[in-house]
């Protein structure tokens, strides 16, 4: 397999490091450049000692990267800083963006939820929402993929097929999500200290988490009518993993049948048997898998869906590699077959 040269912008964050982890054994891509503005000049091993044994390019500033031989760029920069960086990239490079900057199709939605006008509205028009299970063909053909929010990926994989099939009520969808801390990145803050996170749980950003806008957009599209969900994220004392417990109105058997049929061909989505023991985040750690379970509530006409994935893999960097595989014409699962790390 001839390897495509790729760059990672924002390599000093967790999703950047995870991209490196996934790409160093990827048979179809080669890391040709790494950027990290404030850590330019350092090696990846200085920033991430777990990668210290690898032969990797040094960290550079974006403007010092020679993009001439580079086919595809992963952009793992913070939300809000990405639009201008991507707008300045040469037209020959394909882009997979992991930030929130190109996820919302309507620039007014973006402005409302992110508090400032979109800085690259023209580029937004060509962006494809980056979830391969629902945008596979568009991704094969696109130049710019916008990777999804990690919570949103966890919720959409079960909910989109159900709303498309019309087997659940559009109202009364409650998404109670539990996440590990790595989704919040590596920046230092009191809130994320071990001493403040271990041995406890809390809900945060109740009724106002930004991923809500993405849910609205994609679920309304699937339903062909406006859908607004109740979404509550919780922070748990763990590194990786999101578990979404989703409360819906509909027949559990129908729900399970639709999900099972829709996802059976998917290499990374596994629907467990109806009523089976619910999936655990522990069982997808480090892998690109999403596992989904369906249980009938004791109250007639209601069901509980549990969906799990690793926020750094299927929720971010693995999803990005999957999209990149499509954009580069590689088999979709290339470099993503590793089994979960358990325990």
- Per CB under 8 A, does 302 bind a second copy? yes
- Residues contacting a second copy: total by CB under 8 A: 83
- Per CB under 8 A, does 199 bind a second copy? yes
Alpha-carbon distance of 284 to 6, in angstroms, equals 27
- Per CB under 8 A, does 296 bind a second copy? yes
Task: Indicate the residue among 75 and 242 with the shorter CB distance to a second copy.
Answer: 242
Task: Indicate the residue among 145 and 149 with the shorter CB distance to a second copy.
Answer: 149
Collapsing DSSP to helix, strand or coil, 178 comes out as strand
Q: Of the candidates 55, 64, 122, 190, which one interacts with a second copy according to CB under 8 A?
A: 190
Q: Tell me which long-range contacts 221-226 makes (C-beta under 8 A, separation of at least 24).
A: 222/159, 222/160, 222/161, 222/163, 222/164, 223/163, 223/164, 223/166, 223/170, 225/170, 226/170
**Interface with a second copy by CB under 8 A: which range of 16-24, 99-107, 140-148, 322-330?**
16-24
Task: Indicate the residue among 81 and 280 with the shorter CB distance to a second copy.
Answer: 280
We find the least distance from the C-beta atom of residue 323 to a second copy, in angstroms, to be 21
- Per CB under 8 A, does 195 bind a second copy? yes
- Per CB under 8 A, does 234 bind a second copy? yes
- Per CB under 8 A, does 237 bind a second copy? yes
Alpha-carbon distance of 228 to 205, in angstroms, equals 16
Q: Of the candidates 48, 74, 102, 110, which one interacts with a second copy according to CB under 8 A?
A: 48
Task: Count Cα neighbours of 285 within 13 Å in the Cβ-side half-sphere.
Answer: 13
Helices within 60-149 (DSSP H only): 82-87, 107-114, 121-126, 132-141
Name the strand (E) or helix (H) holding 319.
Answer: helix 318-327
Active site annotation includes 150: yes
Report whether 234 contacts 300 (CB < 8 A).
Answer: no
Site string for a second copy, 249-288 (x = CB under 8 A): ---------------------x------xxxxxxxxxxx-
Q: Of the candidates 87, 201, 224, 331, which one interacts with a second copy according to CB under 8 A?
A: 201
Matching residue, tokens 């403040």:
196
- Per CB under 8 A, does 306 bind a second copy? yes
Task: Indicate the residue among 44 and 146 with the shorter CB distance to a second copy.
Answer: 44
Alpha-carbon distance of 337 to 343, in angstroms, equals 18
Alpha-carbon distance of 122 to 303, in angstroms, equals 41
Q: Which residues in 101-120 contact a second copy (CB under 8 A)?
A: none
Matching residue, tokens 């330019």:
40
- Per CB under 8 A, does 169 bind a second copy? no
**Interface with a second copy by CB under 8 A: which range of 66-74, 157-165, 170-178, 321-329?**
170-178
Residue 99: alpha-carbon gap to chain centroid: 9
We find the least distance from the C-beta atom of residue 90 to a second copy, in angstroms, to be 29
Q: Of the candidates 154, 182, 217, 319, which one interacts with a second copy according to CB under 8 A?
A: 182
Q: Which residues in 53-92 contact a second copy (CB under 8 A)?
A: 53-54
We find the least distance from the C-beta atom of residue 100 to a second copy, in angstroms, to be 18
Name the strand (E) or helix (H) holding 179.
Answer: strand 174-179
Catalytic residue among 120, 150, 255, 316: 150
**Interface with a second copy by CB under 8 A: which range of 43-51, 103-111, 140-148, 323-331?**
43-51
DSSP code of residue 316 = I
We find the least distance from the C-beta atom of residue 263 to a second copy, in angstroms, to be 12
Collapsing DSSP to helix, strand or coil, 9 comes out as strand
Q: Which residues in 316-335 contact a second copy (CB under 8 A)?
A: none
Helices within 27-74 (DSSP H only): 44-47
Alpha-carbon distance of 27 to 37, in angstroms, equals 28
Backbone angles phi, psi at 88, to 5 degrees: -90, -5
Any idea which residues carry the catalytic annotation?
Answer: 150
């Amino acid at each position: 397999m001839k390897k495509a040269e790729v760059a990672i912008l924002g390599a000093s964050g967790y999703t950047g490091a995870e991209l490196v982890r996934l790409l160093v054994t990827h048979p179809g891509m080669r890391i040709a450049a790494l950027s990290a503005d404030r850590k330019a000049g350092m090696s990846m091993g200085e920033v991430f000692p777990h990668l210290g044994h690898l032969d990797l390019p040094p960290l550079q500033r974006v403007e010092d990267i020679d993009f001439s031989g580079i086919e595809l760029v992963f952009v793992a920069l913070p939300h809000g800083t990405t639009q201008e960086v991507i707008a300045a990239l040469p037209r020959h490079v394909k882009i997979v963006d992991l930030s929130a900057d190109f996820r919302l199709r309507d620039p007014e939605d973006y402005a409302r939820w992110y508090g400032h006008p979109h800085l690259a509205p023209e580029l937004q028009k060509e962006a494809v929402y980056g979830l391969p299970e629902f945008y596979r063909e568009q991704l094969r053909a696109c130049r710019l993929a916008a990777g999804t929010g990690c919570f949103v990926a966890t919720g959409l994989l079960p909910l989109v097929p159900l709303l498309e099939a019309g087997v659940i009520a559009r109202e009364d969808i409650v998404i109670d999500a539990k996440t590990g801390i790595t989704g919040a990145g590596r920046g230092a803050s009191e809130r994320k200290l071990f001493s403040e996170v271990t041995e406890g749980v809390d809900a945060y950003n109740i009724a106002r988490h930004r991923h809500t806008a993405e849910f609205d957009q994609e679920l309304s599209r699937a339903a062909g009518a406006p859908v607004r969900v109740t979404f509550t994220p919780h922070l748990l004392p763990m590194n990786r993993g999101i578990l979404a417990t989703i409360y819906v109105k509909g027949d559990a058997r129908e729900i399970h049948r639709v999900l099972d049929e829709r996802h059976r061909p998917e290499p990374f989505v596994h629907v467990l048997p109806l009523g089976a023991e619910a999936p655990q985040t522990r069982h997808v750690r480090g892998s690109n898998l999403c596992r989904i379970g369906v249980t009938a509530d004791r109250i007639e006409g209601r069901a509980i869906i549990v969906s799990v994935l690793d926020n750094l893999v299927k929720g971010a960097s693995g999803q990005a590699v999957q999209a990149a595989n499509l954009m580069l014409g590689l088999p979709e699962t290339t470099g993503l077959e590793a089994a979960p790390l358990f325990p």
